[in-house]
Amino acid sequence: MKTMSITILFWLLSMLLLSEENQTSKTEVKCNSTAKNYSLIPANINKNVTILDLSYNQITLNITDTRVLQTYFLLNELYLIENKVNILLNNCFSNLSNLEILNICRNSIHTIQEGAFTGLHKLKKLNLCQNKIVQLNPDTFLPLKNLILLNLHGNLISYFDVPQLFHLEFIILYGNPWNCSCSLLNLQNWLKTSNVTLENESITMCSYPDILKCYNIKTVPYKAECYSKFPSSITEDLHIHFQSIYNSTFNNSLNNLTRNSEHESHGKSWAFLVGVVITVVMTSLLISVAIKCPVWYNILLSYNHHRLEEHEAETYEDGFTGNPSSPSQIPDTNSEETTVIFEQLHSFVVDDDGFIEDKYIDTHELREEN
């Protein structure tokens, strides 16, 4: 019974293995279209293709090629070796979410847009060897969360910022004109401290300065001044500036780090100057207001005068002479105050100014009667 059960178990396991092999053989669809002199990616390929080799053609990977390529969404491997590709456009592989191997070596690629590798979350091997790449933005590799191998040999790269590739295990950098000045210190530290293996390390040599040509980029000795120029806390920010702007602007950004105190003093001097100007302006306004006040008072007082109508003058004369209360009943103080007020009012009147005066009123006779 035991032997019978063991044989049945082995038979079941063998059947499972055979079924898995059959399924893999069924799902793996290869298409070899090498050296067909294609100028465009053909659109009549089986849509279930998983391995597509279009090497040794005339494909440029333009917008039309990108649209056709999106239809092969089951691709696991894509080979475009030795074609006519110059630029990797944004989202040119965005629909190839199952792609694991991408080989675009031996083209003429000089520009890789930042979103060129968007959607390649499962990509494990990226080969960009023997192209004309001069600079690479580290943000270009951010979508490649599972990348294991990065091949950049045989390009024109002299400086390379550290990419954020946490699963990277192998990197190939030989055949580039590496500038082993202080700007490459961050890359060297990353190669020494991370678990990434630098393939062909012994031939990944410095191109300049001349005195460092005998060193590879991982063992080149750096002077202490390089460590002072590139402290670890700001290295990444400075390298980003180095890629995006000219060297002069980069040096200015370094100098700004040591001139913060000078900028603060300049800011205080400007604030003091503005305060002085405001004080002077306000003082001048106050002085001008103080000078103009008497003039405005006279203008306001003269504006209050108005011409007497003829019937107003007769009414005033009748009211003054025909007062029902006799002068003897009015105290002396009131008559004097009335006379003084009347004289003060006439003192403001300029002669011959057109106002009607009552010349029949004699103030001396009024005083004698009182």
Q: How high is the pLDDT of residue 280?
A: 85
Tell me how long the chain is.
Answer: 370
Instruction: Say if residue 197's pLDDT is above 80.
Output: yes
Please state the rounded mean pLDDT for residues 187-207. 94
Confidence of residue 164 (pLDDT cuts 50, 70, 90): confident
Paired tokens of 351: 């002669």
Instruction: Say if residue 338's pLDDT is above 80.
Output: no
The CATH number of 26-225 is 3.80.10.10
Range of lowest pLDDT (1-5, 98-102, 232-236): 232-236
Instruction: Say if residue 318's pLDDT is above 50.
Output: yes
Confidence of residue 1 (pLDDT cuts 50, 70, 90): low
Q: How high is the pLDDT of residue 163?
A: 84
Q: How high is the pLDDT of residue 288?
A: 77
More confident residue, 334 or 176: 176
Confidence of residue 92 (pLDDT cuts 50, 70, 90): very high
More confident residue, 248 or 367: 367
Confidence of residue 275 (pLDDT cuts 50, 70, 90): confident
Strand partners, 53: 32, 79
Instruction: Say if residue 7's pLDDT is above 60.
Output: no
Instruction: Say if residue 290's pLDDT is above 50.
Output: yes
Please state the rounded mean pLDDT for residues 301-314. 55
Q: What percent of the chain has pLDDT over 70?
A: 60
Confidence of residue 233 (pLDDT cuts 50, 70, 90): very low
Cα 175 from Cα 276, distance rounded (Å): 64
Q: Is the pTM of this model over 0.95?
A: no
Q: How high is the pLDDT of residue 225?
A: 67
**Mean pLDDT estimate for the chain:** 76
Q: How high is the pLDDT of residue 245?
A: 42
More confident residue, 266 or 51: 51
In the chain, what are the domain boundaries?
26-225
- 258 close to 246: Cβ distance less than 8 angstroms: no
Range of lowest pLDDT (52-61, 207-216, 275-284, 340-349): 340-349
Cβ partners under 8 Å of residue 144, min gap 6: 117, 120, 121, 123, 126, 165
Confidence of residue 223 (pLDDT cuts 50, 70, 90): confident
Q: How high is the pLDDT of residue 250?
A: 43
Confidence of residue 29 (pLDDT cuts 50, 70, 90): very high
Task: Count other C-beta atoms under 10 Å from residue 300's C-beta.
Answer: 9
